[in-house]
Amino acid sequence: MVGLPARGKTYISKKLTRYLNWIGVPTKVFNVGEYRREAVKHYSSYDFFRPDNEEAMKVRRQCALAALRDVKLYLTEEAGQIAVFDATNTTRERRGMILNFAKENGFKVFFIESVCNDPTVVASNVMEVKLSSPDYRDCNSTDAMEDFMKRINCYQASYQPLDPDDYDRELSLIKVIDVGRRFLVNRVQDHIQSRIVYYLMNIHVQPRTIYLCRHGECESNLKGKIGGDSGLSNRGKKFALALNKFVEEQNLKDLKVWTSQLKRTIQTAEALQLPYEQWKALNEIDAGVCEEMSYEEIREQHPEEFALRDQDKYYYRYPSGESYQDLVQRLEPVIMELERQENVLVICHQAVMRCLLAYFLDKSADEMPYLKCPLHTVLKLTPVAYGCRVESISLNIEAVNTHRERPEEAKKGPNPLMRRNSVTPLASPEPTKKPRINSFEEHVAVSSALPGCVPQEVPTQLPGQNMNNSQKPL
């Protein structure tokens, strides 16, 4: 990271780290300010950051070196892939030290500079985040604001912005200008850097609310069966009406409604009497040969598959179906669009909702498949400075409980015989996957009969169609 204080560097660091961990790239933030607070227990004033305070400069340099040592440890011995070095790094001398460290250890460097000259934005950031810092624990807000602004001035005097047109033209970097109003990108080297750039160009800091809920209770829920494409039960229809009333009470401006392409989410959205958009990416996890079976039936007919899934639910892939890991990759475009939007209601499914919730609440892959997402409950997510506030709102319509707790055996750790990322069943003799809909034509007919819906994706290849060599998937 590069930039003056109160420019959103830590916000970007934490948000980017959350995203990278969610897509499966082990990432950790190393905040040099925390090292400094550990070294200097009692912060006195902005004098510590004056460039002519030689003793303090030595301490700050030692803190940066200590953080870099931990970066090396994380990347070489702890299976980390990306380390976010969160500090001001406002001088060429400091950035040169980082580049030399990376060269010595064979690491790539990508600089993210946050530039903001709007005094209103800076003041807002100071008030919202910096005044609650441990540095100002025993200080009133007026004195804290005055001291922090003087701290910024200490950095301003020696600030050397990244210069991609001349001095820094060989560096890989992105400059985020005025909280995303403009971007300048230079020498992107690989797909990870490309994904980072794309992510940073989609996030914003405008106030908004995201609502997540599952469809109303459906007939398959009543029968204890997973997957399928059944319609709502009577209680599910009551939930849809209650959801309509709830949305009206929220009085949200320009609320967008998203559903999957499965019948139960579409029927739930129909009750809202609002335009909605269908996303194929929001369809429930594909259970493959286990579609429309109960867990008891899976245990009886495919006992080994049942046991394998309990051992590692995130990585386990249903034969001819999907894993939670697959689902996260499928949902990445949804996350990107959620970051771009303002107020959105997503009506989805249990596994899908768990994946989305894990992103916003920074939950690990191990926790994700066991997050509780009950039927007939709305989760209200409000992004805050360094995270997301969640409020669970039950709409008081009874429904079956579809949550399965983590088995005791799974808590003991993964089994070394775990089959990961394989589409070949170990225990199931059934090679064919049960379809969720009878035919593509039937699905199109149903969709076209529903008003207000906008299909997000339409398959270009019909089942059974022959493909020539240029059409074969890679």
- Provide the 8-state DSSP code for 469: G
CA 388 to each of CA 11, 37, 258, 360, 391: distance values in angstroms, whole numbers, following the listed order: 12, 25, 20, 6, 10
Give the separation between CA 332 and CA 355, rounded to whole angstroms.
10
What tokens appear for 138 in the block?
Answer: 């025993």
Q: Residue type for 308, please? A: L
Determine which one of 63, 135, 213, 215 is catalytic: 215
Q: Is 135 a catalytic residue?
A: no
Give the separation between CA 314 and CA 40, rounded to whole angstroms.
42
The pairing of strands 210-214 and 344-348 is parallel
Determine which one of 113, 135, 168, 284 is catalytic: 284
Determine which one of 63, 86, 217, 348 is catalytic: 86
CB burial class (10 A; 0-12, 13-18, 19+) of residue 121? Answer: middle
Q: Is 284 a catalytic residue?
A: yes
Give the separation between CA 155 and CA 46, rounded to whole angstroms.
10
The pairing of strands 377-384 and 27-31 is unpaired
Contacts with 288 (C-beta within 8 Å, 6 or more apart), sequence order:
317, 318, 319, 320, 321, 322, 433
Q: Is 366 helix (H, G, I), strand (E, B) or coil?
A: coil
Give the separation between CA 16 and CA 200, rounded to whole angstroms.
8
What tokens appear for 254 in the block?
Answer: 């320009």
Q: Is 168 a catalytic residue?
A: no
Give the separation between CA 33 and CA 89, rounded to whole angstroms.
12
Output the 3-class SS for 67-115.
HHHHHHHHHHHCCCCEEEEECCCCCHHHHHHHHHHHHHHCCCCCEEEEE
Q: Residue type for 178, please? A: D
What tokens appear for 14 in the block?
Answer: 């934490």
Q: Residue type for 261, please? A: Q
Q: Is 215 a catalytic residue?
A: yes
User: Tokens 């009497």 label which residue?
Assistant: 273
Q: Which of 197, 145, 147, 129 is nearest to 387 (CA)?
A: 129
- State which H helix or E strand residue 389 sits in: strand 387-394
CB 370 within 8 A of CB 351: no
Q: Is 163 helix (H, G, I), strand (E, B) or coil?
A: coil
Catalytic sites, residue numbers: 86, 116, 215, 284
